[in-house]
Structures are given as C-alpha cells and as structure tokens.
Amino acid sequence: MDNLLNLDIVEIQQYQQNRYPLLFIDFVDEAIPGKYAKGYKNFSFNEWFFPAHFADEPNVPGFVQVEMLTQMFLMTFLTLPDNKGRKTSFVNIHNAQFKKKIVPGDRVDIESTLAFYSRGVAKGKSVGTRNGEFVCSLELTVAIPDVLNHFKPLQK
C-alpha cells in the first residue's frame, strides 16, 4: 500500500528548503511519494509582490507561478525516504503556460505528477487550476545535486 501523506506548512518545510518569502505552497492535501502530490496556494492581498505587480491591477507574477508549480512537484520526490530536506536545482522547464490571471483572493489548486525519478533527477508536470478551470502548467526536470554527484564519473 502507498504511503499517503497530508502535510501542513510546518511539515512542508521539513521536506523542502524553500522559506518565506519564497515558499509558495500552503498545504499538501495528498502526496504519494514517488508518484504525485496535490495541494494549494492561497493568494492574499498582503503578498509582498502585489504592490509592485501591479498597484492598479494586482496579479501573480509568472516567476511566482513557476515556483508554486515547482514546489508542489518537489513534494512528489522529496517525500521519498532518502530525499527529505535535500536541496534541489532546476535542470529544465518545458511548455510553461499561463492562461488565466491569478489575483488577490484566489486559491490555486496544484496537481503534480512524477513521470521519472532516478539517480537524483526527477521529471514531471504540474498543473494549476482555480475553481476547476485551468490557470497554469509546466513540465520540468529538477535535480538533487547531492544525490546526482554520487553518480558522476571519477575525474583523473
């Protein structure tokens, strides 16, 4: 049987290195290590980036959306027993889509799936929805440098 996890904000921080002001997920409703994770981010008008993006029409910047989607994706493989709390690095982002504006008061539900994980490299996809309607998505490759380094050839 799969180990189903349900994680609040304090528990999320035990698994990944992101912290305020760059922690962009609030809750993981469900995570099956090595398979998928789903949860959400609530956007309050008090977010630090809204006054600058933009005062007359506040909306969530693209880089925040990328981080939000990525951070949920991290929970698909950082929840594996040997990966808890490890640092991660982007390798690649593919097919990023931003279809709807996200504004103060919105809750974005995020579902991430892990397609591949081996030797510290994870590939998969994250999709964000608001009230069941597609908002944003991306496909990505993320590495855990500490794990990946164990598989590098020895240098002479």
3-state secondary structure of 82: coil
What residues contact 22, with CB distance under 8 A and at least 6 apart?
67
Active site residue 94: no
Catalytic residue among 53, 106, 147, 148: 53
CA 12/CA 29 separation, integer angstroms: 11
Burial 11-44 (b: 16+ CB within 10 A, else e): ebeebbebeeeebbbbebeebebbbbbbbbbebe
CA 31/CA 77 separation, integer angstroms: 9
Cis preceding linkage at 54, omega within 30: yes
Just list the catalytic residues. Answer: 53
